[in-house]
Structure 1
Amino acid sequence: MSALHDTTVALPPGLTVCDVAIVGYGPVGMTCAALLAQAGLDVIVVEQHPQRYAHSRAGHLDGETMRTFQRLGIAERIELIARPMLCWQLVTAEREQLATIRLGESGSGWKADYLSHQPELEAIIDSRVLELGGRVIMGMTAEQVSQDADGVRLTVRPTADPEAGTRTIQASYLIGADGARSFVRTTLGIRREDLGFSANDELVIDFEHHDPDRDLPQLPDVYQVLDPARPQLAGRWSGGRWSRWEFHAVGDETREDLDNEETCWKLLATWGITPEHGRIDRRAVYRFESTLADRWRIGRVFLMGDAAHTMPPFMGQGMLSGVRDAVNLSWKLAAVFAGEAEETLLDTYQAERAPHVRALIDASVAVAETALLTDPERARLRDDALRRGELPTPPRFPRLGAGIVRPETAEGAVESDGRPSPQARVAFGTRVDRLDQFLTPGWTLVSRHAVPEELFDARQRRLLEELDVTFVHVTPGDVPDAYLDIDGEYDLWFRQNGQKAFLQRPDGYVFGGVPSVDQVPALLDLLVDRLVEHGWSKPQLGVAA
């Protein structure tokens, strides 16, 4: 499978029109383009580089992200090039195990965590973008953004020929998915808040093995080495034939000291890795940051991924947060284009996503500050606490901020509101699959017991019809026309959360849950209130004919 991507579409001189233009074709821009194209929108992506980057940067996937790839029809292909991350072990310099941590959340129908080699991942997403009709223009640099009440104009120029004439893309909306140094963000004058993480440089080494099947007992999975002399991370499986190491700069080491092959081999030798085992595919020195843009939308222009937020990589949530951005914004843009909502719905994008990502930035900074201790006494106290089992309980992944979700202060609000809905294996007739595979993305009511139609009044029935709500009855029982809860995971989720039904948004997040199916009508009334408040305008929403 090629790791590169030549120009797919030529952009002619003059004006080219589309629904949505995206600047930046990394994994976040790719995923957003695929989701929008899947929704039937005409999407153009411009990328300043002539080919996709041939080396890995991010590598962590979680179950929620795999569920997004499942929606795009590529999860099984990605599963072949990724490897489950079974555990993250905190160890001393002598490899004494102090603690084991699992990151991410299960419940999405996949393993909680995976590791992959980014070029292989991008090749699969890129292929899907093209299959869905997205137009990808490589080697084109964005130079100017302007907008008015009717649309956005993006001026671009061939990167390799600065003397060439410019081209113009006219779009209804534009998304800046162009990384931490975002041209789009800078052009709009959007400020970023520095959230205070500071650390030394980190040398990252991606290593390709000559024999991928070779056993490395010194590196069974993923080690975070809590060595005050040099904090480091080592991961055996970054896809099928790759490993990754990250070494913290110490003392008076400079970037130049770290960024040379001799240094890399000396550091790898401490792990028993020599040129006999393989080759260094990439070495790079990073200085991680934690930032959050104060505005993610100005008019018809949006920021996404690293253009909107950056975080240290110690929870592996940077790229995944960008994918969540893409999922959140794509279904709302699709609703606006379909005439179901006014543009004010798009204000809920930042309102929902920014608090979520800020909580993950804070958690990532906390993990980083613990892992990177170089003061020997503070490190000793940390290690002693870990030996006593005093590992802080990881906080539950944050919920969405205010938007199309039951407010935290509303009567009946529960912990599962504003979080990803569960997905597990079910059977319908003789077919067995993950539940989403039976459904068309949209509003879905999932219940432990059948929900009688007579519960709803005329207004609520009109709402169900206009939103095209799908009813899903999942049960361990032998019930005609119901989905069989093959592994009992839905039944367990309902019992653990004290719920009997939940209303699932088009992006797979829970709007709200209820402890009895008799309370579903009241939940629908609350949904109408939230939709109307945020610009849902489908004619006669929830009003009886």
Structure 2
Amino acid sequence: MNNKKCSELPPDVVDVLVVGYGPAGATLAALLGRYGVSTLVLDKTHEVLLMPRAIALDNEALRILQLAGLAEDAFEKIVIPEVRMHSPVLGQFARANTAGCIDGHPKLVTFYQPDLEHAMRDKISQLASVTSMGGLKLESLAEEPDCVVASIRDQKGRRHLIRARYLVGADGASSRVRSLIGQDFKGETYAEDWLIVDAGNRHQSAIDHVEFICDPERPAPHMPAPGGRERWEFMLRPGETREQMESPESIARLIAPWIDPRELQIERKAVYRFHARCCNSFSKGRIFLVGDAAHITPPFVGQGLVAGLRDVANLAWKLAWVLGGQASPSVLDTYDEERRPHAKAMIDMAKLMGRLVMPRNKLAAFLIHGLMRTLALTPATRKYFEELAIKPKHIFRQGLFVRHRRRDKLVRGGLFPQAWVRNAKQQVHLSDEALGDHLTLVGFGVDPLSLLSPAQVVSWVNLGGNFLHLGACGQRPGGNCAFIEDLNHAILPLAPKGTLVVVRPDRHVMHHAPSKQAAKLVQTCMDLMSSGDSTADSVSFTIGEPLRMRA
């Protein structure tokens, strides 16, 4: 069994109930467990589905998995050095450079989703505050002034009532939670069906990059995956049926340019339709949506699962701080405020890339691909596509941070960079390990503890705060503050010496200011965490069928 603590009955009361135990729900549970939150995660099934589904992760996603406690070698990955785009007429007309690292992680990797899910469930099994259970189906919800009451049905037909301070729907594109709170998807379903084929036993033959065969007659993305796997995606033509295209004969014919049909070993074949959809709100009262339950992204830029991981990193720490009494419940309103605009921007980018690399007719393909090839000749436009400048930056427009000033390199509301550092014990590690699971006050070349009064230090610690002194390579610590050296001078150049930076647990910058404003900076952040009146306690509504007390 992949579920921990499969006791006969689920607990009656829990702080957070997570519905759905896929990658997003499991990562949320792992993060909540790291913060010590009492969490129950439920799923209709007991086991991880042993089928490849999501296949791509970027550096941000890998950093979130690091935040959730997964070691670098927790699951196998293939680092992708580039993405090539081929035209049958023009040849290779564009490429994206995905070589190298950002924030200590590769820009792009492929992976095998069951491996990731098993690794995350193994991590959760080590967390005392998290319980996972399978074979349970959500039937209805009711929100009371201080909790959500979920009616759950088990495989024996018994009904259970679970009271949770907060509930999170991580139950995928056909989310029961989303339908119960009336957050129907807005967006479009593409007219094209696609056949996905995952082949095994490709250890010696698989390509080492991602390629898009941009043939308007039959577009086909193609990529490698761990375990000697390769994936192809073929767009169906009008009149072609699922049954016809999933036949062994059709698959062998489509993959013949790459594989001798006699050597073809199919692990998975499935026809599905691309979606581009997003809810009008990612929350209602004490109920939240994450991942595919909140938004679905076309796969042209590999951002579907990545977006869900961004959701849970944003939401988990806010739930933990509110439940711990260190933040006002109104802080939870910033989850939707911060995440929804970026999720929509990613969906729009995926739709644009789909139109650029997969035009529907030969004339459009010739014109668009010819233009892209021409644009690649000039440095500015080449950087836009080749160096991924087209990708929307994960910078919040508004939310739980102090508004950004244009001239600053270190962006408030943006991600705090990660780099290799060395601690006072001469141990080398990535800087997020020093930030830990805290709201951290980082001093650039200055000890932040030395700038605050004892009362201010106590107030910051009570807020879930921590302190970190970031020094230059070769600098030695002084004082009682935790200290790290910026070994490659990757972080310190972003702000003047003496700058203080408040980094949220999800690694976004809340605020920064010169050291002479230390007291004001701390107070501003404390005010942000306590700002506004709670609206959750005044909301009460019933969803789905009426609840009946357990017999």
1:319 aligns to what? 305
For residues 38 and 21 of structure 2, what CA distance do their matches in structure 1 show?
A: 16
1:486 aligns to what? 487
Give the counterpart of 1:108 among 103, 116, 120. Answer: 103
For residues 532 and 488 of structure 1, what CA distance do their matches in structure 2 show?
A: 35
Q: CA deviation at 1:247?
A: 0.9
1:97-133 per-residue CA deviation (whole Å, 9 max, x = no partner) reads 2222146995322112211000111110111112213
SS of residue paired to 2:121: helix
Give the counterpart of 2:529 among 515, 528, 531. Answer: 531
For residues 448 and 253 of structure 1, what CA distance do their matches in structure 2 show?
A: 61
Give the counterpart of 1:291 among 277, 293, 299. Answer: 277
SS of residue paired to 1:120: helix
Residue 233 of structure 1 aligns with an amino acid whose one-letter code is P
Residues 62-77 of structure 1: pairs in structure 2 closer than 5 A: 62-77=58-73
Residues 294-305 of structure 1: pairs in structure 2 closer than 5 A: 294-305=280-291
Q: CA deviation at 1:500?
A: 4.8
1:476 aligns with 2:462: no
Gapped regions of structure 2 (runs ≥ 5) = 535-551
1:543 aligns to what? none
**TM-score, normalization: structure 1?**
0.87
For residues 228 and 499 of structure 1, what CA distance do their matches in structure 2 show?
A: 56
Given that 1:416 and 1:513 are in contact with CA atoms closer than 8 Å, whether structure 2 keeps it comes out as no
Structure 1 window deviating more from structure 2 (335-344 vs 500-509): it is 500-509
Residue 199 of structure 2 aligns with an amino acid whose one-letter code is F
Residues 158-307 of structure 1: pairs in structure 2 closer than 5 A: 158-159=154-155, 161=156, 164-194=157-187, 196=188, 198-209=190-201, 212=203, 214-216=204-206, 219-236=207-224, 238-276=225-263, 278-307=264-293
CA distance 1:199–1:472, shift in 2 (3 Å): farther
Percent sequence identity is 29
Q: CA deviation at 1:447?
A: 3.9
For residues 446 and 532 of structure 1, what CA distance do their matches in structure 2 show?
A: 21
Give the counterpart of 1:26 among 22, 29, 34. Answer: 22
1:540 aligns to what? none
For residues 518 and 365 of structure 1, what CA distance do their matches in structure 2 show?
A: 47
Residue 19 of structure 2 aligns with an amino acid whose one-letter code is V
Given that 1:348 and 1:534 are in contact with CA atoms closer than 8 Å, whether structure 2 keeps it comes out as no
For residues 96 and 520 of structure 2, what CA distance do their matches in structure 1 show?
A: 40
For residues 415 and 78 of structure 2, what CA distance do their matches in structure 1 show?
A: 23
Residues 115-514 of structure 1: pairs in structure 2 closer than 5 A: 115-133=110-128, 134-159=130-155, 161=156, 164-194=157-187, 196=188, 198-209=190-201, 212=203, 214-216=204-206, 219-236=207-224, 238-276=225-263, 278-388=264-374, 389=376, 390-391=381-382, 392=384, 393-408=389-404, 416-428=411-423, 429-451=425-447, 455-456=451-452, 461=457, 463-467=459-463, 468-481=465-478, 482-491=483-492, 493-494=494-495, 500-514=499-513
CA distance 1:12–1:250, shift in 2 (3 Å): same
2:549 aligns to what? none
Given that 1:451 and 1:517 are in contact with CA atoms closer than 8 Å, whether structure 2 keeps it comes out as no
Given that 2:212 and 2:220 are in contact with CA atoms closer than 8 Å, whether structure 1 keeps it comes out as yes
For residues 433 and 477 of structure 1, what CA distance do their matches in structure 2 show?
A: 16
CA distance 1:296–1:28, shift in 2 (3 Å): same
2:9 aligns to what? 12
Q: CA deviation at 1:329?
A: 1.0
Q: CA deviation at 1:505?
A: 0.6
CA distance 1:521–1:367, shift in 2 (3 Å): farther
Q: How many residues align?
A: 517
CA distance 1:480–1:499, shift in 2 (3 Å): closer
For residues 298 and 70 of structure 1, what CA distance do their matches in structure 2 show?
A: 29
Q: CA deviation at 1:451?
A: 4.5
**TM-score, normalization: structure 2?**
0.86
Q: CA deviation at 1:231?
A: 0.9
CA distance 1:487–1:138, shift in 2 (3 Å): same
SS of residue paired to 1:124: helix
Q: CA deviation at 1:531?
A: 2.5
Q: CA deviation at 1:411?
A: 8.2
For residues 170 and 263 of structure 1, what CA distance do their matches in structure 2 show?
A: 51
Q: CA deviation at 1:29?
A: 0.6
Q: CA deviation at 1:520?
A: 4.9
For residues 140 and 356 of structure 1, what CA distance do their matches in structure 2 show?
A: 32
For residues 501 and 7 of structure 1, what CA distance do their matches in structure 2 show?
A: 42
Given that 1:446 and 1:474 are in contact with CA atoms closer than 8 Å, whether structure 2 keeps it comes out as no
Gapped regions of structure 1 (runs ≥ 5) = 537-545
Structure 1 window deviating more from structure 2 (290-299 vs 443-452): it is 443-452
Structure 1 window deviating more from structure 2 (380-389 vs 395-404): it is 395-404
For residues 146 and 460 of structure 2, what CA distance do their matches in structure 1 show?
A: 32
CA distance 1:452–1:155, shift in 2 (3 Å): closer
1:151-189 per-residue CA deviation (whole Å, 9 max, x = no partner) reads 122112234x5xx22122221111111111110111111
Given that 2:356 and 2:369 are in contact with CA atoms closer than 8 Å, whether structure 1 keeps it comes out as no
1:59 aligns to what? 55
For residues 526 and 190 of structure 1, what CA distance do their matches in structure 2 show?
A: 34
CA distance 1:500–1:107, shift in 2 (3 Å): farther
Q: CA deviation at 1:442?
A: 0.8
Q: CA deviation at 1:398?
A: 3.3
SS of residue paired to 1:32: helix
Q: CA deviation at 1:255?
A: 2.6
